[in-house]
Amino acid sequence: MTQESEAWHINKSIPVAVIFTMIVQTCAIVWGAAKLEARVENIEHWVQVNSETQLRLQGLDFWKDELNKRVQKLENRK
């Protein structure tokens, strides 16, 4: 026998169940990756839509801190 006749091939001793299981696992991995990609896209869209809200909240936090400082100064005058 030469090396060419010993090329890769499926041996008849491999059960059909093993081949079927490998195909199902591969399909499940591809499906899971597609689902994960869709979730990431949804999250990216949500972040983009809510970026303006984030900026507004940061502005409100700044003014809240300023008001707290002024209230504290007024209370210290008493």
Q: Is the confidence at residue 62, as pLDDT, over 70?
A: yes
Output 62-68 pairs: Cβ under 8 A, ≥24 positions apart.
none
Tokens of 42: 């949804």
Tokens of 33: 């990756």
Q: Is the confidence at residue 5, as pLDDT, over 70?
A: no
pLDDT tier for residue 78 given thresholds of 50, 70 and 90: confident
Please tell me the distance from the alpha carbon of residue 35 to that of residue 29, in angstroms, as a whole number. 10
Predicted pLDDT at 70:
92
Q: Is the confidence at residue 2, as pLDDT, over 60?
A: no
Please tell me the distance from the alpha carbon of residue 57 to that of residue 50, in angstroms, as a whole number. 11
| Mean local confidence (pLDDT), 47-75 | 89
pTM of the complete model: 0.49
Please tell me the distance from the alpha carbon of residue 24 to that of residue 27, in angstroms, as a whole number. 5
